[in-house]
């Protein structure tokens, strides 16, 4: 990841540049969700 951010609800956002997406993990989540991008390398 190139950057990680934690919001006030303790959700973690990860900028995944290789896969051109931003992932979000809610507090206590078992897996993340794609909130932006996700088309992979072009």
Q: Report whether 34 contacts 40 (CB < 8 A).
A: no
Distance between CA atoms of 27 and 13, rounded to whole angstroms? 11
Could you tell me the residue ranges of all domains in the chain? 3-37
Please state the pTM of the whole predicted model.
0.79
Write down the pLDDT at residue 24. Answer: 96
Residues near 35 by Cβ (< 8 Å), separated by ≥ 6? 13, 22, 23, 24
Walk along the chain (42 residues) in steps of 10 and give the mean pLDDT of each run. Answer: 92 92 94 85 57
Q: Report whether 16 contacts 25 (CB < 8 A).
A: no
How many CA atoms does the CB half-sphere of 23 hold within 13 Å? 18
């Amino acid at each position: 990841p190139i950057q990680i951010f934690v919001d006030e609800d303790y959700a973690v956002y990860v900028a995944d540049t290789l896969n051109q997406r931003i992932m979000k993990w809610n507090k206590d989540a078992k897996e993340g969700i794609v909130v932006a991008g996700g088309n992979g390398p072009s």
